[in-house]
Amino acid sequence: MKIVILDAYLRDPKELNWDRFKALGELEIYENTKPQEIIERIGNADAVLVSETPINKETLSACPGIKYIGVASTGFNVVDTAAAKERGIPVTNVPDYSTVSVGQFTIALLLEICHRIGYYNDAVYAGRWEANPEFYLEDYPQIELAGKTMGIIGFGRIGKRTGTIAKALGMKVIAHGGKQTDAGKAIAEYVCGDRLFAESDVISLHCPLIPSTQGIINKETIAKMKDGVIIINSSRGPLIAEEDLAQALNSGKVYAAGLDVVSDEPIRADNPLLKAKNCIITPHMAWASKESQKRLIEESFENLKAFIAGNPINVVN
């Protein structure tokens, strides 16, 4: 079996690598792949692993040898899963590798909005505290989360993990989306979308990017929200209509946003959120703890191993 990994970039390659895949077949590894390189690099490969590199219908037609596509991610919107299914190609994902990391990072974004620790640290080192006549600085209000309501859209593994931490901070948690379970009900109250928009002080997005969720945060849904709501997105950028959110931030309807993802990545200089008020943006890094990356490699390996054995797991199509 020939195996090609099209975007194998790891943040700590000294300790993390894809070498174990050599036990499953002939292996070619590319740290990242440009769109014009995809077909040539896949060539006659049997198995293809991707993270952000798109695999569309045209690529599948041009590479008829593909028998398996592994997405080294929880989200799998980069692959045309319907076209793959038509060709009998299973597409797998890694559903649980980043749950702990993304849940923690989501709350970190929220706490940064509430306390602006990075901002105040920079202010101290810039000499502003030393020069201040008062004993403290206050450019942004400090916000307590206890007693406030977090609304989570997409209550799967990561949504539940985020809700558990929010509940530990004293927040009321409500949720919309995903199958209702006893485990979910122990964390949150399941509500309809309109009620979530109306009651939440904080809205956190953890749903997959599918046609029904694309642009779920837009001027119409923002109008249903409380004045001064906080929006967090560590899922997929296109869940938000970015021009609408930028306008809401600038008007004050939305107090602040914490975003680890945007619609076009890496971010473009003309993204309206770069000029919006109270918008914290990080470079799609919530998933990337060392522990999370280790699980990603291990579980991607197990997915391909199971496919080769004739018992595929984590198939999404």
Bridge partners, 49 (sequence order): 5, 70
Domain extent at residue 81: 2-97+290-308
Q: Which of 71-75, 160-164, 202-206, 232-236 has the lowest mean pLDDT?
A: 71-75
Q: Same structural domain for residues 276 and 294?
A: no
CATH of the domain at 13: 3.40.50.720
- 173 and 220 share a domain? yes
Same domain, 130 and 253: yes
Structural domains counted in the chain: 2
For residue 16, what pLDDT band results from cuts at 50, 70 and 90?
confident
Q: What's the Cα-to-Cα distance from 134 to each of 16, 131, 138, rounded to whole Å?
A: 49, 9, 10
pLDDT digits (tens, 9 = 90+) for 121-156: 999 999 999 999 999 999 999 999 999 999 999 999
Does residue 86 sit in the same domain as residue 110? no
Above 80 in pLDDT, residue 263? Answer: yes
pLDDT at 178: 87
Residue 316 counted as domain residue: no
Are both 88 and 201 inside the same structural domain? no
pLDDT per position as a tens digit, 276-297: 999 999 999 999 999 999 999 9
Domain annotation covers residue 264: yes
Q: Look at residue 12 and tell me whether its pLDDT is greater than 80.
A: no
Catalytic residues: 236, 265, 284
Stretch 198-219: mean pLDDT: 96
In a domain, 276, yes or no: yes
Same domain? For 84 and 104 the reply is no
Phi and psi, residue 15, nearest 5°: -110, -20
Q: What is the dihedral of CA 69, 74, 79, 83, to 10 degrees?
A: 80
pTM above 0.85, yes or no: yes
Q: β-strands 91-92, 229-233: how paired? A: unpaired
CA 201 to chain centre: 21
Domain membership of residue 153 (yes or no) is yes
Residue 317 lies in a domain: no
pLDDT of residue 87: 97
Q: For residue range 221-241, what is the model confidence (pLDDT) as tens digits? A: 999 999 999 999 999 999 999
